Amino acid sequence: MGKKNVIIYSVFVFVFIACFVFYSILSKNKKYSKITYSIEYQSDTLFAEKEFSDFVSNTHPSIIGKPIDSVNLSIFEKKIETYPYISNADVINNRGNLLIKATQEKVIAKIFNNKDEQFYLAESGKLVPKSKRTAGRLIIVNGNIDKRYSENYFVYQKNTLSKNKFKTLYIVWKMVCFIENDPFWKAQISQIYVNDKLEMELIPTIGEHTILFGNLVSVDNIDKAIKQQFDNLKILYTNGFKITGWDKHKSVNLKFGVEIPCERRNN
């Protein structure tokens, strides 16, 4: 390293240490005086800032007025992230002014289990409790679903998925994610019903037919199977239904691959 570079590096280190010392002096005996919030809503609003603020106050009721160096912000942040409607939170301290940045979970489906309970399914795979607010247009999922809402429960569990008795809800999540990220199907599908055989029945927004998707519990590559089924169905929607119309059939059966038998409606 040349002499010039050594001088530049030394100056940089000196400035860094000076800034750190200066900040420490300013922060010494400084107390928290204010909390502000910045919330990103990825879907329709499930909670108001006031509700979140009340939760934060209950989580750490005496943070205002406390010395800065007496609060572990990392622990505080983890406590805040237990709020069931958010996916993550960042706590930023600016000499006693706290900024709490939070991101709401993006909910993509509303679940009605077989115990008459309701909760949301987020794009992350997390279960989210029912909100007092209206979540807007979501895919409705109902039928033979045993799972009850539980905090911080994700429908995928990498190490125990094959033994997970709630794997049906995992398949529902995969299916809803596919629909959510495909503009064509997002406009077409309004409901997923899980029948007694754990087969998925899709209810479209247009037409009075039911789409029999089948049981995917024993399928290894669920993503591939879902895509293939929807690809086959899209051919029927864009070609076959153009000719026959939407209301000529009672059901469309996807359980047999590219061969798609349709049960005609009795006139």
Predicted local distance difference test score (pLDDT) of residue 250: 72
Model confidence band, residue 62 (pLDDT cutoffs 50, 70, 90)? confident
**CB distance 172 to 121 below 8 Å:** yes
DSSP state, residue 265: P
Least confident among 15-19, 103-107, 207-211: 15-19
What count of Cα atoms within 13 Å lies in the side-chain half-sphere of residue 201?
Answer: 14
Tens digit of each residue's pLDDT (9 = 90 or more) over 237-250:
787 655 455 556 57
What count of Cα atoms within 13 Å lies in the side-chain half-sphere of residue 71?
Answer: 26
Strands (E), 178-229: 189-194, 200-204, 210-214
161 has a pLDDT exceeding 50: no
Q: Which of 58-67, 86-95, 101-110 has the highest mean pLDDT?
A: 101-110
The answer to whether the pTM exceeds 0.85 is no
Residues with Cβ within 8 Å of 175's Cβ and at least 6 positions away in sequence, in order, are 192, 200, 213, 226
**CB distance 170 to 155 below 8 Å:** yes
On average, the pLDDT of the chain sits at 81
**Beta partners for residue 90, in sequence order:** 101
25 has a pLDDT exceeding 60: no
Q: Find the mean pLDDT for residues 102-128.
A: 95
3 state DSSP class of 239: helix
Model confidence band, residue 256 (pLDDT cutoffs 50, 70, 90)? low
* Residue in this structure with the two tokens 């794009």, named with its chain if needed: 123
* H/E run at residue 106: none
Predicted local distance difference test score (pLDDT) of residue 196: 92
Predicted local distance difference test score (pLDDT) of residue 21: 44
44 has a pLDDT exceeding 70: yes
Predicted local distance difference test score (pLDDT) of residue 109: 97
17 has a pLDDT exceeding 70: no
Model confidence band, residue 157 (pLDDT cutoffs 50, 70, 90)? low
> Domains of the chain by range and CATH?
34-104 (3.10.20.310), 107-264 (3.40.50)
Q: Which one is predicted more confidently, 33 or 119? A: 119
